[in-house]
Chain A
Amino acid sequence: MLIEFPRSGGLRSPVRTPGRIPDGIPGGLSPALCAPDARPEDLVRRGLIAPSEAIARMRGEPQPGPAEAATQIRGPADHDLNVRRILAELDELIGLERVKTVVREIQAFISIQQRRRLEGLAAEPLVLHMVFRGNPGTGKTTVARILGHVFQAMGVLSQGHLVEVERADLVGEYIGHTAQKTREQLKRAEGGILFIDEAYALARGGEKDFGKEAIDTLVKAMEDLKDRLVLVLAGYQHEMARFLDANPGLRSRFPIHIEFPDFALDELMAIAAKMLEHRDYQLSDRAAAALREGLDRKIREGMRNAGNARMVRNVIEAALRRQAVRLVDRAEISRQELMTIEAEDLDGV
């Protein structure tokens, strides 16, 4: 989603020193060269052997069977590229520093528990049900989707997909209907994450409401599908707090709580820039100033959803349409003009 990308040119070409250990590496036999457990790629990294020699050594390695594959979870340096890639996707998100830290803690915790299990040490059971609190558009769904991928790559969930539901998807109209609907959604989510948006809506109607039946079915499923499902309850900060206070039994089943704060003005600007970059657009200087001013005004006016990425996306998409209208009847349009959002395209932000 970012733009920096090395192009050809400007790259140093490799200096080749055939058959000789290059300068800067101390001569003589390094201990690593003798160490039987030094990995071939590490020897290459240290300049001790050529890649062809490393491949020759790798030829005799035992094939990773199922047990072997688990042994590969060793430490950060050894982590699956997959997990690193997915976490890098998380890093690409603007702001959310606290959220990123918590996700890394979760990932590290799982990794260590897996290693402990391999060593025959007591391992904590992994209870990964979570509560996400924050306004709409603060990245809750986005982060949940990434977490699903992390869990899949780490072998915690078989699929790691995200099923996003709300009250209407779970609650039915007659007795028995709710349990059936809820079970259907649970089935869809098995192997992945069931993400319940505005979860407190399940408690909306009070004791007699079918929402209660949905909660009971979910609680039961958390037992039955313990290792095959992660449940995420999402919603506004206060409503969620109240909901959990009223259902202490539920609270105790969700050990992980993550708060999604509203974005600050600079973060909203960065999110806008990124969304534009991704679409091959850019803001003129005046447009950037206008956007900043508009967003700042919205925040100061205290709009409930002012500090969120979805609003930014709406503003940007409206601007793209206005730009199109501005340009469409022109006889000649330059590439630069096609790419540029002007201040007038942001009128009314």
Chain B
Amino acid sequence: MSGRNPECLVIGEPGAGKTLFTLALAEWLGQTQLELSQEVAAGRVVTRTWRTPEAKAALVGQGPRTTRSLQWATLSVPLGIGRGRKELVVVDSAGLPSSVSADPEFRAASAEVLRQLRRAQMVVHVVDASRVTAPGELDRQLAAYAADQKPGRYMLLANKTDLPAGRAGLRRLRRALPGVEVLAVSALQGTGLQAVGRRLRRFLLECPPPRQAGGRQGGGTGTR
């Protein structure tokens, strides 16, 4: 991980489809495999190359939460004809629970996600629209936070719109969160990713060049 590429944090409740979305995005960008890194303990990163179908089988959860820590992949995003490509680090995060968890490991994972949220240059918020309780308190707070702190650098995805319940949920989300643009996607079927890709491209084109100083990376691909 070079530390020089702009980062996009994928965030949401457990089971929203963050991991499947991340992998579907990689596929949509034409990648048949991807290198996924994971911080297994403080400072210990493990990287593994996956073919996307296998990654889906292994990493996408039936249970409420299979992604326990941050995992990230560098995706190459085409910027449009004649404009080349830019690399984007997509960070798939552990789901944020709607209440205080009794599991300290889980809480530590949530704390890390919040830290990442603060510094993320781009945020993709995934909501399971098929759940009747969506949007929950967490989703509302996230959308409100993004409006203040990440203007123009935030996307809200209503996921699982392949399901009838998901399509109903999409309408509910739009009603519950006026002023927030809600993009309908299905990570399972790979639909709706065009609109996501367009926004990522715009973000990458506007992304500031690397900072000269100040600790935090500014983005841009730098010289290779």
B1 touches which of A24, A52, A89 (Cβ 8 Å): A89
Question: Which A1-30 residues sit within 8 Å CB-CB of chain B?
Answer: 1-8, 11-24
Contact check, B102 vs A59: say whether CB atoms are below 8 A apart. no
B141 at the interface (CB under 8 A from A): yes
In the docked arrangement, what's the CA distance between A92 and B46, Å?
Answer: 8
A54 sits at the interface (CB 8 A):
yes
A82, B3: Cβ atoms under 8 Å? yes
From A49, A61, A83, B100 is in contact (CB under 8 Å) with A49
Alpha-carbon distance between A73 and B136 when the two chains are bound, in angstroms: 34
Q: Given the complex, which residues of B lie within 8 Å of A14, measured CB to CB?
A: 14, 64-65, 97, 101-103, 106
A88, B45: Cβ atoms closer than 8 Å: yes
Q: Are B108 and A45 in contact (CB under 8 A)?
A: yes
Q: A323 to chain B: closest CB distance in Å?
A: 20
Evaluate contact between A52 and B212: CB separation under 8 angstroms: no
Chain A residues contacting B116 (CB-CB under 8 Å) are: 81
Whether A8 contacts B59 by the Cβ 8 Å rule is yes
B223 to chain A, nearest CB (A): 5
- Chain A binder among B22-30, B144-152, B173-181, B194-202: B144-152
Q: How far is the CB of B172 from chain A (nearest CB, A)?
A: 18
Residue in chain A with minimal CB distance to B222: A159
With a CB–CB cut-off of 8 A, which chain A residues contact B118? 58, 61, 64
B28-50 vs A: 1/0 string, CB under 8 Å? 00000000011110111111110
* B102 surroundings in chain A (CB, below 8 A): 14-17, 22-24, 47
A72 to B46, alpha carbons, bound, how many Å? 26
A80-B215, A158-B210, A160-B222 as given contacts; A12 in contact with B39, CB under 8 Å? no
What total of chain A residues lie within 8 Å of the partner, measured CB to CB?
A: 76
Which residue of A40, A63, A92 contacts B149 across the interface (Cβ within 8 Å)? A63
Select one of B62, B101, B119, B215 contacting A16, CB under 8 A. Answer: B101
Are B215 and A69 in contact (CB-based, < 8 A)? yes
B47: chain A residues within 8 A (beta carbon): 1-2
- Within 8 Å of chain A (Cβ to Cβ): is B171? no
CB–CB B43/A84 < 8 A: yes
In this complex, how many residues of chain B approach chain A with their Cβ under 8 Å: the count is 71
| B114 and A152 contacting across the interface, CB-CB below 8 Å | no
Asked if B46 and A4 sit within 8 Å, CB to CB, the answer is: yes
Contact A45:B210 (CB < 8 A) given known A8-B66, A80-B215: no
Task: Judge if A87 is at the interface, Cβ distance under 8 Å.
Answer: yes
Known: A8-B61, A69-B215, A88-B45. A21 touches B222 (CB 8 A): no
B96 close to A91 (CB less than 8 A): no
Question: Which residues from chain B contact A86 at a C-beta distance below 8 Å?
Answer: 1, 3
For A75-112 the 0/1 string (1 means CB < 8 A from B) is 00000111111111101100000000000000000000
Contact of B217 among A87, A152, A188 (CB under 8 A): A152
A191 to B48, CA, bound (A): 31
Residues in B135-191 with C-beta less than 8 Å from chain A: 136-138, 140-142, 144-145, 148-149
Inter-chain CA distance A53–B216, complex, in Å, is: 26
Interface residue? B58 (CB, 8 A): yes
- B144 engages A59 (CB within 8 Å): yes
Q: Is A42 an interface residue (CB 8 A)?
A: yes
CA gap between A19 and B215 in the complex, in Å: 38
Name the CB-closest residue of B to A62: B149
Residue contact A55 to B141, C-beta cutoff 8 Å: yes
Interface presence of A307 (CB below 8 A): no
Q: For window 99-119 of chain B, which residues contact chain A by CB distance below 8 Å? A: 99-104, 106-108, 110-119
Q: A2-B46, A7-B58 are in contact. Are A52 and B214 (CB under 8 A)?
A: no
CB-contact partner of B4 in A24, A59, A152, under 8 A: A152
A182 at the interface (CB under 8 A from B): no
Q: State how many angstroms separate the Cβ of A106 from the closest Cβ of chain B.
A: 16
Let me know if B224 is at the binding interface, CB within 8 A: yes
Q: Which B residues lie within 8 Å of A11 (CB)?
A: 63, 65-66, 68
Interface contacts beyond A8-B59, A45-B107, A69-B216: sample of 17 additional A-B pairs, CB < 8 Å, sorted by A = A3-B48, A6-B40, A7-B59, A13-B63, A16-B99, A41-B111, A44-B110, A44-B114, A49-B100, A50-B137, A52-B136, A52-B137, A55-B141, A84-B39, A86-B3, A159-B4, A161-B222
Which 9 A-B pairs give the minimum distances between C-beta atoms? A22-B102, A88-B45, A45-B111, A82-B3, A41-B114, A41-B111, A51-B96, A69-B214, A52-B138
26 contacts between A and B (CB under 8 A): A1-B46, A2-B47, A4-B40, A4-B46, A8-B58, A8-B66, A11-B65, A13-B63, A16-B98, A44-B107, A44-B110, A44-B114, A45-B110, A46-B107, A50-B137, A50-B138, A52-B140, A58-B118, A61-B118, A64-B118, A83-B3, A149-B2, A153-B215, A158-B210, A160-B222, A161-B224
Chain B residues at the A interface, C-beta cutoff of 8 Å: 1-4, 14, 37-40, 42-49, 58-66, 68, 70, 96-104, 106-108, 110-119, 136-138, 140-142, 144-145, 148-149, 210-217, 222-224
